[in-house]
Amino acid sequence: MSSNNSNQDNFIRFALEAKVLSFGEFKTKAGRLSPYFFNAGGFNDGARLSALGRYYAKALQESKIAFDMLYGPAYKGITLAAATAIALADNGLNVPFAYNRKEAKDHGEGGSLVGAPVKGKVVIIDDVISAGTSVRESVDLIRGAGAEPAAVLIALDRMERSGNAVEIGAKSAVQAVEQEFGLPVIAIANLADLMSFLTSSNDTQLTNYLPAVKAYRDKYGI
């Protein structure tokens, strides 16, 4: 059971206050009815982005993974990697960061990688992993530059089997990435943290959602 001021609990509280995390009934891309919705696009002002970077930085440092630089896949990952790099620098750890552009440029610096030279052990930063495609692109770009992906850092691990409303896969998107690329996936918080947060909450409005989240986890969870 996590304590009430753990990085996970604080992050969940912060995501709820920012309306980035909401409860209700939401249709996922896979066609499932989910009792909760997480949209990192809602971290859309300076204070929230700054706080988010601190949560990412803390999760990364607590993971004890060795890394040399950060990489943010376009588009969402760009601001996330930048915010995390700033937070790490504020903690006294100044690391380079890079990102990709969706369209290769044919003039100026050329190529699809922007920012610091991609080398050493690289942490890929994104919001969630729904399918492994953006991770695959990032891994290919990083290896293509002669560097080595070290981990994937995300905000929330839904701990949910892949597939759709009818077919349920054996693994979650995160597990698939861990197995396919041999990369650890670090999440600021996951579905288990969300459930323990709801369980220990004094807010009846929140605890009311617990049965729906539990039923969803029983059906689709790993």
Residues designated catalytic: 105, 107
Where would I find the beta strands (DSSP E) of 21-120? Answer: 21-27, 33-38, 69-72, 97-105, 111-115
Q: Which 3 state secondary structure label does DSSP give 182?
A: coil
Q: Which of 194, 213, 209 is nearest to 156 (CA)?
A: 194
Phi, psi (5° rounding) for residue 186? -105, 130
Q: What is the C-alpha separation between 9 and 83, in angstroms, rounded?
A: 20
